[in-house]
Amino acid sequence: MSNPTAAMLVIGDEILSGRTRDANMHFLAQELTKLGIDLKEVRVVSDEAPAIESAVRALSDDFDHVFTSGGIGPTHDDITADCIARAFGAHIDVRADARALLEAHYKKSGQELNQARLRMARIPDPATLIDNPVSTAPGFTIENVHVMAGVPSVFQAMVASVLPGLTGGRPLLSQTLRVDRGEGDIAATLSELAEEFADLSIGCYPFQINGVFGANVVVRGTEGARIDAAMTRLARALEA
């Protein structure tokens, strides 16, 4: 059986303008790989309702899980929750369970739970809350979409809340061989290897350090013994 699939939707003008370098994609990719869920696509869209709605619909249709980051804070440009409710035709308003969490949090910290902060309790009716141990305001899961914050520390805490509830697959294993030759020199060998080990993925990632070309050959798959066999074959072929 093949592994479950996933997509990520990053929401935020600050990434697209180059102001901020996204960190959540790399984190989520690593966590999903460990769990045996195959991340197949990532989209980054701006804080515009039509872009968010059409991307979430497309990704929700095409993949087993969708993870979003960004746009669920208290300010006017945080429109993700409402967009996702619309994408699923769900009613959304301040919800009692989310409001109770915020009330307790702000009471404890002596801050006011004003109208802006209450926006963070807007949760679609059919959604379940995602725990936020960092700053309380919850994320939520609706159908196969997990809606999370963009601030990396909060995003990571929410991912840790969500992943244990998902059914993983066979974790993707990999081994890497660094080769100090240009990839054009080893391409024929890799092509033969890829044909012989069609159940594995053979990737070649060139680099250039101080004018010297080399490549990292990465062999990925779910069966350790097969990867071992491919690596042994590869090492012999490159010695020859």
Kindly tell me which of 78 and 127 has the beta carbon lying closer to a second copy: 78
Question: What is the spatial distance between Cα 121 and Cα 146, in angstroms, rounded to a whole number?
Answer: 16
Q: One symbol per residue from 143 to 182: x for binding a second copy (CB under 8 A), - otherwise; what is it?
A: --------x-x------------------x-x-------x
Segment 63 to 122, residues that bind a second copy, using CB under 8 A? 73-77, 111-112, 114-117, 119-120
Question: What is the spatial distance between Cα 205 and Cα 232, in angstroms, rounded to a whole number?
Answer: 19
Segment 175 to 194, residues that bind a second copy, using CB under 8 A? 182-188, 190-191, 194
* Triad 157, 70, 2: Cα angle to 5°: 70
Question: What is the spatial distance between Cα 46 and Cα 203, in angstroms, rounded to a whole number?
Answer: 32
**Per-position DSSP letters for 95-163, written without gaps between them:** -HHHHHHHHHHHHHHT----HHHHGGGEEETT-EEE--TTT---EEEETTEEEE-SSHHHHHHHHHHHG
- Is residue 229 near a second copy by the rule CB under 8 A? no
Kindly tell me which of 79 and 85 has the beta carbon lying closer to a second copy: 79
**Shortest reach from residue 136's CB to a second copy, in Å:** 11
- Chain positions contacting a second copy, by CB under 8 A: 13-22, 25-33, 38-47, 51, 73-77, 111-112, 114-117, 119-120, 134-135, 151, 153, 172, 174, 182-188, 190-191, 194, 201-208, 213, 218, 220
